[in-house]
A and B are shown apart, each in its own frame.
Chain A
Amino acid sequence: MKPLKIADKEFTSRLFLGTGKFGSNKDMEEAVLASGSEMVTVALKRVDMETDTDQIITHLQHPHINLLPNTSGVRNAKEAIFAAQLTREAMETNWLKLEIHPDPKYLMPDPIETLKATEELAKMGFIVLPYIHADPVLCKRLEDAGTSAVMPLGAPIGTNKGLKAETFLEIIIEQSRVPVIIDAGIGAPSDASKAMEMGADAVLVNTAIAVAGNPREMAKAFKLAVEAGRMAFEARLGKISSHAEASSPLTQFLNE
């Protein structure tokens, strides 16, 4: 399978993981390792550089794991830029998952503020991966603004509803010049497979693994599903047709 390239980094695994919602940091670490993921997102607001108690990031100190800090909790571009600057200092990375959701109920991303922040942050040298609605036009605007990838949602965060936005995701994948990572809503390994078969470059999964009965086994299941989906995409799926053969051909008369 082809490696995934975002900015100047190559990834063998096309499964990204979120680190929230786990019952313990140990559960989280085991799931991350079982998933084979090389890109793990961490909410900056939960990172504590001051005290060295049981920390999220101490559990992610593995050479193959890249940290992708996110701005979860911010409501506008200004707050996002503040958080990004804190991140760059604290975590020594210029990679950023940009999440701006002014609506704390459904955590819907704000397209206007996201575009504004992406523009600014890209100029400041950040590798920006914005979380957005499955909006094809916004994706193109973000490309112009200097985004390094786009992360459209499959369904609202945490809902496990799957690829509700499928039709729009297809358009985004078709048109995009930057990697498309489907984020949010992926509830089962079959959803992840489906996303990869559609040609998504990667998927990001959190809730479906974190709140599973056995997060580690579920992480493994997602790993296999993502690989299977990608393999199928690269092997090129056969055409879908509604019936095997036309029962009464309409152009038969031409041969008579």
Chain B
Amino acid sequence: MQKSFVEVFENHSWDEISERINSKQEADVIRAINSPKRNLEDFMALISPAAEPFLEEMAQVSHQLTKERFGKTIQMYAPMYVSNECQNICTYCGFSFNNRVPRKTLSDSELLEEVEAIKALGFQHVLLVSGEANYTVNINYFSNAVKLIRDKFANISIEVQPLEQEEYERLQELGVYAVLVYQETYHRDTYKVYHPKGKKSNFNYRLETPDRVGKAKVHKIGLGVLLGLEAWRTDSFFCALHLDYLQKTYWQSKYSISFPRMRPAEGIIEPNVIVSDKNLVQLICAYRMFNPDVELSISTRESEKFRESVVPLGATSMSAESKTNPGGYAVEPETLEQFEICDERPASAIANMIRKKGYEPVWKDWFVGQ
């Protein structure tokens, strides 16, 4: 039987990793900054408290590496929530099963209405998002949705419940380019606390999801930690470990990292851990220095000022004018959001901001219909 990330994961103890990160010294940070190729040990140094005084140097390296690899471009995309039905209880999420909010799943005609509204904003890359409602919003629903919109967008990604390998294969055949699945937290016990009920409470099944995506030969795999649930440095180390394992195993796929920082939403709890702007910048730079080719995505959860500042810092893709409720662009703009977005500027204003920074917003970077 083929190995999965679970085996790699089991060889690492959370407490020991935390200890190693916290014991990094200035000399470790300097060595990591000056190293031509950085490994996981260097990544630990770069996310450690000892690296905080070196933030500007890290930012300069990150800027240079990103420019060499990605040029002066930012990929634009829009999320499209197709459903907020969900059988999971995730105590931080607005769509959690136990939240008494109206539930909605877009019909074919509603999907097309949303597509037109998103395209009118200029987007050609779209990310389909759903909760987890396996009886109604399942592989058949997604296949149908992808077929329906495949010729309307150059690039389709999905961020939905974990699926089986065969299901990913089917979606990839139909034209899904990327699958995003965040572990939320790599701390097994904390994960249980935040995900007490529903299929999502199975930590290992979620942890093995990117393996199934990789085996299905999907072009791009997106990872992330929900920043705010656990100690961000240790959690991010595990995410980098995951990235490193996947990239070596499924070498034909590209990878992206997202940085969802907990935002207020209806009925949710306060973040357990506060991740400051400074922390997040350090994390972005550390990822870039560890992995010059990973895509780094910054969503509208972040503020205008923060997003502007990270354009030259290592970010490679951005959403804009996002709606986080199903039907939010045209069908039912007033329904409840998954989380409040912070940067509410129109997509055209974001594009102008990017241009002002000397970068080119890229709307299309794949083939329509493939």
Q: Which A residues fall within an 8 A CB radius of B?
A: 20-25, 43-48, 50-51, 53, 73, 75, 79, 82-83, 86, 102-105, 158-160, 207, 210-211
Distance of A32 Cα from B270 Cα, bound (Å): 53
B355 lies within 8 A of A45 (CB): no
B364 lies within 8 A of A48 (CB): yes
B367 lies within 8 A of A83 (CB): yes
**B67 neighbours in A (Cβ, 8 Å):** 21, 211
**A83 neighbours in B (Cβ, 8 Å):** 367, 370
Our pick among B68, B362, B370 for the contact of A158 (Cβ within 8 Å) is B68
Given contacts A45-B154, A103-B251, A207-B71, contact A23 B293 (CB under 8 A): no
Shortest CB-to-CB span from A104 to chain B, Å, is 4
Distance of A45 Cα from B364 Cα, bound (Å): 7
Shortest CB-to-CB span from A18 to chain B, Å, is 10
- Count the A-B residue pairs with Cβ separation under 8 angstroms: how many? 75
User: Is B360 on the interface with A (CB-CB < 8 A)?
Assistant: yes
Our pick among B68, B253, B362 for the contact of A160 (Cβ within 8 Å) is B68
In chain B, what residue has the closest Cβ to A106?
B293
In chain B, what residue has the closest Cβ to A48?
B364
Given contacts A103-B251, A104-B293, contact A48 B367 (CB under 8 A): no
Distance of A60 Cα from B359 Cα, bound (Å): 19
Shortest CB-to-CB span from B272 to chain A, Å, is 34
B360 lies within 8 A of A24 (CB): yes
**B358 neighbours in A (Cβ, 8 Å):** 23-24
B124 lies within 8 A of A211 (CB): no
Distance of A96 Cα from B358 Cα, bound (Å): 30
Shortest CB-to-CB span from B370 to chain A, Å, is 6
Most buried by B among A73, A105, A159, A210: A105
CB-defined A-B contacts under 8 Å, sample of 8: A24-B355, A45-B154, A45-B366, A46-B362, A48-B364, A53-B363, A158-B68, A160-B68
In chain A, what residue has the closest Cβ to B255?
A104
B365 lies within 8 A of A23 (CB): no
**A22 neighbours in B (Cβ, 8 Å):** 71-72, 360
Chain B interface residue count, CB cutoff 8 Å, equals 29
**B355 neighbours in A (Cβ, 8 Å):** 24
Distance of A159 Cα from B124 Cα, bound (Å): 29
Given contacts A23-B359, A104-B293, A211-B71, contact A46 B253 (CB under 8 A): no
A53 lies within 8 A of B122 (CB): yes
Contact with A along B242-255 (1 / 0, CB 8 A): 00000100011110
B247 lies within 8 A of A211 (CB): no
Shortest CB-to-CB span from B333 to chain A, Å, is 24
Contact with A along B142-185 (1 / 0, CB 8 A): 00000000000010000000000000000000000000000000
B366 lies within 8 A of A102 (CB): no
Most buried by B among A25, A45, A102, A210: A45
The 10 A-B pairs at the shortest CB distance, nearest first, are namely: A21-B71, A23-B72, A104-B254, A23-B358, A48-B364, A102-B252, A211-B67, A45-B366, A24-B360, A105-B293
A103 lies within 8 A of B252 (CB): yes
Our pick among A48, A75, A79, A211 for the contact of B68 (Cβ within 8 Å) is A211
**A86 neighbours in B (Cβ, 8 Å):** 367
User: Is B236 on the interface with A (CB-CB < 8 A)?
Assistant: no
Given contacts A45-B154, A104-B254, contact A210 B71 (CB under 8 A): yes
User: Is B70 on the interface with A (CB-CB < 8 A)?
Assistant: yes
Given contacts A102-B252, A104-B252, A105-B251, contact A48 B363 (CB under 8 A): yes
**A24 neighbours in B (Cβ, 8 Å):** 72, 355, 358-360
**B124 neighbours in A (Cβ, 8 Å):** 48
Contact with A along B342-370 (1 / 0, CB 8 A): 00000000000001001110111111101
Most buried by A among B71, B359, B362, B368: B71
Most buried by A among B68, B70, B358: B68
Our pick among B68, B154, B360, B366 for the contact of A23 (Cβ within 8 Å) is B360
Shortest CB-to-CB span from B65 to chain A, Å, is 10
**A211 neighbours in B (Cβ, 8 Å):** 67-68, 71-72
